[in-house]
Amino acid sequence: MRTLRKIAALGLLALILSSLSVMAADKIKVLIVDGQNNHNWRECTPIMKWILEDSGLFAVDVSTTPGKAGGDEWKNWHPKFSDYAVVLSDYNGSPWPEEIKADFVKYMQNGGGLVVVHGADNSFPEWAEFNEMIGVGGWGGRNEKSGPMIRYKDGKVMFDNSPGAGGTHGKQHEFVVETREVEHPVMKGLPAKWKHATDELYSKLRGPAKNITVLSTSYAAPEQNGTRENEPIFMALSFGKGRIFHDVLGHGAVAMAGLGFQITLVRGTEWAATGKVNFAPDSIKELSADKAAIRAIPKEVLPGKK
């Protein structure tokens, strides 16, 4: 009898392990790349990892680059991009080695996914393929030679080739995000307008702006030292067979506590990985143009807050 119970227990354990294995296999594999940034990647990466995994859709790994000194450490850093459906960049720093850049270009051309969040679009100003992937970027010496600025006027996207530096923002503040492509999978079902938590509103971004769809914009108000322009907030792009979700939101923990940021990060990452969006939590109903909805980040997720 004891033997039968033992066999039954082992069978149940095997069934549980098998179920867990299937569940893990069903999750979309995401690789977050960090290690250098003029923003606090040590704070932001754990938050984004939590947001994605808490959705139940993703299994997230993190690859942290060596420091700026480079040297032999860089020889040992070589993530296998092809193991993942999508790469999320929380990186803005030293150029990647040429071999890794070539691998990433190949990964994207073959159908990989990329999500670029906030300061990550400041990176690699001299890397032509990367700038084509993200459409537009800021700082790093970008100017009219890098490409046009994107403007949304009279219901359509326009390109501004005026001379000037690429990349600026006014004071951090709450601002309204307005949907421009209501039928795109990332935006479908979201409110036409919703207020985002306190953040930097990136403006005057410049780049090749190829194969780009502006999904949403925000007005950079003059009273916030803004440009008086409808600046792009979410963009969807293609590069080869790959998909890119470019998200200019997410300066730090305060901005990432915004419910709208969290929902769109999940939806944008799912779309970049699969071309479809199924994530539609009931909390979408909490988004409104009147008040920024906040979903608190657990203390254990924040560095030094455990």
| pLDDT (tens digit per residue) in 232-268 | 999 999 999 999 999 999 999 999 999 999 999 999 9
pLDDT at 286: 98
Please check whether residue 279 is in contact with residue 51, taking contact to mean a CB–CB distance below 8 angstroms: no
CA 69 to chain centre: 26
Mean pLDDT, the chain, rounded, equals 92
Q: What is the pTM of this model?
A: 0.91
**Which domains are assigned to the chain?**
27-68+76-301 (3.40.50.880)
DSSP states of 70-91 as a string?
-THHHHT----GGG-SEEEE--
pLDDT at 72: 79
Quick check: 11 pLDDT over 60? no
Question: Among candidates 69, 80, 87, which has minimal Cα distance to 32?
Answer: 87
pLDDT at 70: 58
pLDDT at 211: 97
Quick check: 5 pLDDT over 80? no
pLDDT at 303: 81
pLDDT in tens, 154-184: 999 999 999 999 999 999 999 999 999 999 9
Quick check: 217 pLDDT over 60? yes
Distances (CA, A) of 147 to 42, 114, 247: 32, 21, 19
- Split at pLDDT 50, 70, 90, the class of 67 is confident
Quick check: 71 pLDDT over 80? no
For the beta carbon of residue 99, count every other beta carbon within 10 angstroms: 10
pLDDT at 167: 98
Quick check: 7 pLDDT over 90? no
The first and second tokens of residue 37, run together, are 């940034």
Alpha helices in 55-186 (DSSP H): 72-75, 98-109, 128-134
Range from 12-16, 17-21, 22-26, 228-232 that averages highest in pLDDT? 228-232
- Split at pLDDT 50, 70, 90, the class of 16 is very low
